[in-house]
Amino acid sequence: MAEYVVEFGKDGGRVEPDGRLDAAAFHRNHEAIWAALAPYLIGQSGDVVEVGSGTGQHVVDFAGRSPELTWWPSDLNAAHLKSIKAWSAHAHLGNVRAPLRIDLADPSWCPQMRDGSGPGPLLAVFCANVVHIAPWPVAEGLIAGAARYLRPDGRLFIYGPFKRHGRHTADSNAVFDSSLRNGNPEWGVRDIAELEQVAVGVGLTLTDTQEMPANNLILVFGRVAST
Ligand SMILES: C[S@@+](CC[C@H](N)C(=O)[O-])C[C@H]1O[C@@H](n2cnc3c(N)ncnc32)[C@H](O)[C@@H]1O
Domain that holds residue 128: 24-223
Q: Say if 154 falls within a structural domain.
A: yes
Mean pLDDT of 29-40: 98
Length of the chain: 227
Q: What are all long-range contacts of 8-12, with beta carbons under 8 Å and residues at least 24 apart?
A: 8/54, 8/55, 8/79, 8/80, 8/83, 9/79, 9/83
Please report the pLDDT score of residue 4 as a whole number: 80
Which uninterrupted H or E stretch holds 193?
Answer: helix 192-201
Mean pLDDT of 60-67: 98
Q: Say if 213 falls within a structural domain.
A: yes
Is 60 exceeded by the pLDDT of residue 226?
A: no
Is 80 exceeded by the pLDDT of residue 67?
A: yes
Q: Say if 126 falls within a structural domain.
A: yes
Is 80 exceeded by the pLDDT of residue 225?
A: no
Q: Say if 5 falls within a structural domain.
A: no
User: How many domains does the structure of the chain reveal?
Assistant: 1
pLDDT band at 15 (very low <50, low <70, confident <90, very high): very high
In the chain, % of residues over pLDDT 90: 90
Rounded distance, CA 99 to CA 86, Å?
10
Mean pLDDT of 180-204: 97
Is 70 exceeded by the pLDDT of residue 1?
A: no
Mean pLDDT of 22-40: 97
Q: Say if 6 falls within a structural domain.
A: no
Among 76, 104, 127, which is best to mutate for testing ligand 1, by the most ligand atoms less than 8 A from CB? 76
Contact 114, 65 (CB under 8 A): no
Is 70 exceeded by the pLDDT of residue 11?
A: yes
Q: Say if 12 falls within a structural domain.
A: no
Please report the pLDDT score of residue 137 as a whole number: 98
Crossing angle of the two packed helices 136-149 and 192-201, in degrees rounded to 10: 40
Q: What is the CATH number of the domain that holds 29?
A: 3.40.50.150
Which residues line ligand 1 at a C-beta cut-off of 6 Å? 4-5, 23, 25-26, 51-54, 75-77, 80, 102-105, 128-130, 133-134, 138
Q: Say if 93 falls within a structural domain.
A: yes
Q: Please, what is the average pLDDT of the chain?
A: 95
206 backbone dihedrals φ, ψ, rounded to 5°: -75, 115
Q: Say if 10 falls within a structural domain.
A: no
